[in-house]
Every structure is written in structure tokens, then in C-alpha cells.
Amino acid sequence: MKNDLVSILSDLIALPSPYPPGTSVEICAYAAKRLKKAGYKVEIATHKKGVDNVVARMKAPGKQAAKGPVIAFNAHVDTVGVGERANWKSDPYKALVKGGLVYGLGAGNCKGSMAVQIWLAEEMARRGGPKKGELIFTFVADEENLGPEGMEYLRKSGKVRPDALILGAQTENNLIVAERGVMWAKITTKGKAAHAGNPGAGDNAILRMMRLVGALSSYYDKALATRVSGAMKSTVNIGMFHGGHNTNVVPSACTVEIDRRLLPNEKVTDAFKELKKVIDGVGEPKSQYAVEFLTGTNGFTAPANGQAVAAFEAVVKKQQGRKVKFLNATGVSDGRYYADDKIEIINFGPGSGAQGHAANESVPIAEMVQSAKIQLEVVQRLLC
């Protein structure tokens, strides 16, 4: 198992898939070829040229397929870019095995989990496949871009509608079963340009924006203070602030982009309405500003009595003699596209989140082996 996992991960690291540009043809072809050879019904699902996704299915025989759950695994194939090449101590596109670790771009996020899932798919096939229900493996692009051409496309097109979705993530083989929602919005203000030597002749769009953002900040300082659920907090961040085009000109335009992280019981539509209500209440001329919804997805919490979560808890206890930890997610995963489907959404996999998006990224081989063993037994409990 150890040699197989390292071999698969080495192959994946050698297949560049950074965003930008976000192309995924070659690495998806690799996964599709392996799973098709193993006996899966494989589809290359593509909504945008060059941005391929793999969907591989194996159903239980006959009427048994309808008697069990649909369990889907997912890992994203894209990585961030190399960044400063000088910061890498080895070739980022050539796996380096050293000290019990595999180094390379995407080793932790998320090709380590992808390697485990490919091994798991092949091992389940070797064992005859599921005895009930259906087993699906998805390998998708457009995750690093938070884009619509990967898992969001698979969900909207109806190609993947599981009862439980298990996403590869750097959790050190612990669980993330709850995730905050996210809402992005843009505020635009207008003004009137004038010479900086006579600012009174103009209308400063940046100052207008500062009034709006100041009102938002004052409101959220109070409103979000009590929006807490365990380790999760409802938050706001001013992520981008752009205005003006020259120091000696009164700016006629300004834009701000805002990131709101929402508790699972908060909804994206309500969060946008709340933001707009605060902005509208400031009293600026309506013609001189606009509030635009950019994107957003609701958060989720796996059902407390979910069979997949229970299976993970039981298997970790049995194999490792410990209680599985439930981690707090800082970011968002592709599971967010299924947040309103009332399914179990679980993030699980080898590696530490601190390794993601960093030079000399690595994943522990021992954790990959543990992850493979745990997930194999979980699938057997659910589908065999």
C-alpha cells in the first residue's frame, strides 16, 4: 500500500495543474484511465474547454444498488502556482521522498488525498465493488479559483447527487463536518473629478466610500459579536479597496469588495440584504453608489445522526484507539455547493493545512497509509 500510494502521488505531482491557468486535461485523463481500467463507468465532464472533471461510478449488482446509499468521494486536481521558484529546495513537479514525507507542488493540497482516493477506488474494485448502493469518485478542477466549472458544475448538472460526500482535505485524518457559508459583495461609489488644488470643485468618491465602510464597520462590530457557534464565528473582511487614478485628482470612482463568513444557520441572501440595508441607511445619494452581489454559498453542518460520520468515528476508534477530532474550518471547500441538499458533507484526509499553498509542500506517507485504511473500512461499512 505504501509503495502504491507514493507511486500514484508521484505521478500526480509530475502532471502540472496550477491555477492559473487552471487546465486539468492531462491529470484528469490519468485518473480516468486508471479508474476505467479498474472497472468503473467513467465520464470526463466538461463545461468549459480545458477544465475537465472526472466522474467514476460503480454500482452494486442488480436490485442491491437501490438498497444502499450513494457515497461520493472528491478531490480537486488543481493547485496554486509555484510562486517564487527560488523558495523551493527541490523541483516542485518532481516528487521528493525524504524523511517519511513526499514533497512537491500539491502534495498536501490536494494531490495526497487524490492519490489515496485513486488507491481506494482501485482497491474497492479489486474486492468486487460495493455490495449495495453506489460508489462515486470525482476529481475536479476550478477549486483554487472558487470557480463554477468544477464541483459546482457537477452538482448543477445533476451528475453527482450523493447521500454522503467525502472531500479530500488536509485534516491530519480528523473530520470537518461543519463549514461556514461565504458571501462576496462589491460596493461602488461615484463622484466628480477635479484638480486636487481645488477639491471643493469635485466630489470625492473615496471619501463617500469611507463613510459607507465606516457605517458598515460600526454596524458589524456590534451585530456580529454574538454570532458564534462553538469555534465558528460570523465575520466580515474588507478585502479590496480601489479608488482614484492620480494623486493630484479628486477621485471620481471607488470600489470595495467585502467577504462575509456566515454561520451555518445564516443564509447568503439574508446576509446580502443586511449589508445593503446598512449601506442604504447611511443617506448617500442613491445615484452615487451601488451594492452588487458577487457570489456566495450557504454553510453546512452534517446531520448529528449521519451514518457516514458515525462510520468514521467508529473506524478511527477501532484502528487507532483514539477519538476522532472535529476540526473548525477556516476556509471553504467544494462541499459548499451541496450545502442545501441535506446530505452528509465530510472533509477528511492526510496532511496539515499549514502545508497548503506553501513552498516545499509535503504530506506524511504514514498519514496517507492511515487515511487509505480508514476510508476503505468506512466504505465497506456503508456499502458492503
User: What stretches of the chain adopt beta strand conformation (E)?
Assistant: 41-48, 51-59, 70-76, 96-98, 101-103, 134-140, 164-168, 178-179, 181-190, 228-229, 232-233, 235-243, 253-262, 289-297, 300-301, 344-348, 362-364
Of 341, 360, 362, 338, the closest CA to residue 351 belongs to: 362
Helix (H, G, I), strand (E, B) or coil at 163: coil
C-alpha cell at 92: 516542485
Domains of the chain by start residue, with CATH: 2-179+299-383 (3.40.630.10), 181-297 (3.30.70.360)
- Across residues 63-79, what is the average pLDDT? 96
Q: What is the mean pLDDT of residues 169-191?
A: 97
CA-CA distance, 124 to 88, in Å (whole number)? 36
- CA 143 to chain centroid: 6
193: pLDDT strictly greater than 90: yes
248 burial (CB, 10 Å; 0-12 / 13-18 / 19+) is exposed
State residue 173's pLDDT score: 98
Given a contact cutoff of 8 angstroms between Cβ atoms, the answer to whether 363 and 108 are in contact is yes
Q: How many CB atoms lie within 10 A of CB 168?
A: 28
Note the pLDDT of residue 8.
98
> What pLDDT, in 10s, does the model give residues 261-308?
999 999 999 999 999 999 999 999 999 999 999 999 999 998 878 999
Q: Residue 113 is inside which H or E element, if any?
A: helix 112-126
Q: What integer pLDDT is reported at residue 183 of this predicted model?
A: 97
In what side-by-side order are the strands of the sheet with 51-59?
41-48, 51-59, 134-140, 70-76, 164-168, 344-348
| Predicted confidence (pLDDT) at residue 180 exceeds the cutoff of 80 | yes
Q: Given this model, what pLDDT does residue 101 score?
A: 98
Residue-wise pLDDT tens digits, 155-176: 999 999 999 999 999 999 999 9
Q: Nearest CA to 83 among 125, 24, 144, 36?
A: 144
Q: Please compute the mean of the pLDDT values over residues 83-109 and round it to a whole number.
A: 97
pLDDT at 355: 83
pTM of the model: 0.91
Instruction: Give the pLDDT of residue 80.
Output: 95
Supply the DSSP symbol for 378. Answer: H
Mean pLDDT (the chain) is 97
Question: Considering only 126-130, 161-165, 205-209, 327-331, which range has the smallest mean pLDDT?
Answer: 327-331
The letter for the amino acid at 332 is V
Angle at 108 between CA 321 and CA 377, to 5 degrees: 35
By DSSP bridging, strand 51-59 and strand 41-48 are: antiparallel
pLDDT at 209: 98
| Non-local CB neighbours of 106 within 8 Å, separated by 6+ positions | 12, 13, 17, 79, 361
